[in-house]
Structure formats: structure tokens, C-alpha cells
Amino acid sequence: MQRSTPRLTRILACAAVPVMLVLAGCSSDSGSDAGKGSGSSSSASQDQQGGQKPATVAPAKYTKLPNPCKSVSTKTIEKLVPATKSKAGTSGKSSDITSRGSCSWNGLDDNGVKGSQYRWFDVSFLRYDSETSLGVSGQKRAENNYAKEISKAQATDGAKNVKTSPAKGVGEAGTAIRYELKKTGEDFSYATIVTRTDNVVITLTYNGTGYAGAKSPDSADLMESAVAAAKEAVASVGVANS
């Protein structure tokens, strides 16, 4: 009983002071546990203040796409496809015109005994939004898919003599792919431009052949025309978002 007196006295003394003082100075029996609790609280506070924060992703620069059938001027269409069936073009189907769209033109220029010249021209747009949850910007997504579109063009089924080179002055990044492809018993020449302007990827294809003894178009001429048209398509993205 004598040994328990000091402990009893201390308990009674703690009971006589305010509760906050009891918590601060009268918990010696659980001092080690209290220390651990305090350390955990401090660590949690540090995690909240100095821990890793979600990456900040800039919003996509372009939020709209141009009307694909108006992305290239009528004058250019008349030059590329002289006998086009419709100068207004044929719009491709899209479930989301703010993210993807396309348009095509084709025509057969019949020159009688001199043969005929067939041309096909199309342009497509792909726009990428930023993915905040993944920490990926729209521009980065477009860069990744720009590379995929190039690979897709290079791997066209049946393509021969594929040649790839930079398309200088077209968008922020541009690649020219030319090749030959046999269709309907004729040798077609192809000129494809894949370009990127920030978070938008544009793919433009221009091809043609000669029928009834007419010569096939020169691939260099096709590419020159394709580059000029691609510059117009790139500019149309900026206009649509101005």
C-alpha cells in the first residue's frame, strides 16, 4: 500500500487540473506510444505539404477543327483534280467532328485519243485533347500519333518504291512519303504528307494515273502539289480557332 501511494497521489493531482493539461503532462504511463503518434502526425503533415502533387497538364491549344472540305481552296482543288466530280468535296463520316474529320475529291479528265488522267485527293484531321488524369498533353498525344500515321503510310499494302523525306515548311513537323501502287491494272503514283501543328495531325494524300495510253503523273509533281495543299490545310486549323 505504501508503494502505491505516490501513484495514487499523482492520479488525484491530474484529476484536479484541466483536461488539456492532463493530456499534455499526465500521460507518462503511455509516453512512448504518444511519441509514436506525434511522429506519424508530423509525417502525414509533411506528406500533405511536401508530397508529390498531380502533374499539371496544359490544356490543348486547338479546341476546334476546320471543315475538312473547306480546308483547301477551290482554286487548289481545281488545279489538283481538274475534272473533279464535285468541287465541294465528299465529307467523310465522323461521330465527333471536333476530334476527327476528312474530305475527298476525285475526277477523270478525259482527253479523247490522248488518253485520260485520273486524280484522287483527300485530307484528314485528327485532334487530341490533353489527358489530365494521365498527365499527358494534347501536343504530346499528337506527337505520338503523328509517328503512327507516318508508319501507316509507309506500310501501305502493296506499295512499291517507298521513299520518305522531310516536308520542310509544313506545320511544326512534316513528313513526305511517296510510293507506287498498282490498282485497276494501272500503276498509280502516290504523294502523302503527314504533318502536325501542335495537337492536330493532318494526313493528305494525292494520287493519280493515266488511262488509255496516257502517261502516269510524275511523282515529284504530285508531291509539289501535295505540299502546297498541306500548307493550306495547316493554316486552316489556326483560322478555325482564331
Q: Is 128 helix (H, G, I), strand (E, B) or coil?
A: coil
Mean pLDDT of the chain: 84
Work out the pLDDT band at 19, boundaries 50, 70, 90: very low
Q: Choose between 46 and 133: higher pLDDT.
A: 133
| pLDDT for residue 22 is more than 90 | no
For 204, residues 6+ apart whose C-beta sits below 8 A from its C-beta are 121, 122, 123, 124, 192, 193, 194, 195, 226, 229, 230, 233
**Residue 44 has what pLDDT?**
44
| pLDDT for residue 29 is more than 90 | no
Strand order in the sheet with 100-110: 90-91, 100-110, 116-127, 200-211, 186-197, 173-183, 160-166
Reading the block at residue 209, the C-alpha cell is 494515273
Parts of the chain belonging to CATH 3.40.1000: 68-240
pLDDT digits (tens, 9 = 90+) for 201-242: 999 999 999 999 899 899 999 999 999 999 999 999 999 999
Question: Which residue in 203, 197, 190 sits closest to 150, CA to CA?
Answer: 203
Q: Is 152 helix (H, G, I), strand (E, B) or coil?
A: helix
**Residue 158 has what pLDDT?**
95
**Residue 20 has what pLDDT?**
39
**Residue 87 has what pLDDT?**
93
Q: What one-character DSSP code corresponds to residue 67?
A: -
Q: How far apart are the C-alpha atoms of 155 and 112, rounded to whole Å?
A: 36
Residue 201 near residue 126 (C-beta atoms within 8 A): yes
Percent of the chain with pLDDT over 70: 77
Q: Choose between 59 and 31: higher pLDDT.
A: 59
**Residue 69 has what pLDDT?**
98
Work out the pLDDT band at 85, boundaries 50, 70, 90: confident
Residue 167 near residue 226 (C-beta atoms within 8 A): no
**Residue 185 has what pLDDT?**
87
**Residue 168 has what pLDDT?**
93
**Residue 56 has what pLDDT?**
86
Maximum Cα–Cα distance across the chain: 130
**Residue 111 has what pLDDT?**
85
Residue 197 near residue 163 (C-beta atoms within 8 A): no
Q: pTM here?
A: 0.77
Q: Which CATH number fits domain 68-240: 3.30.70, 3.30.1490, 1.10.10, 3.40.1000?
A: 3.40.1000
Beta bridge partners of 193: 176, 204
**Residue 145 has what pLDDT?**
98
Find cell 500503276 and name the residue. Answer: 187
pLDDT digits (tens, 9 = 90+) for 45-80: 444 455 565 568 999 999 999 999 999 999 999 999
Hey, how many other C-beta atoms are within 10 angstroms of the C-beta on 239? 11
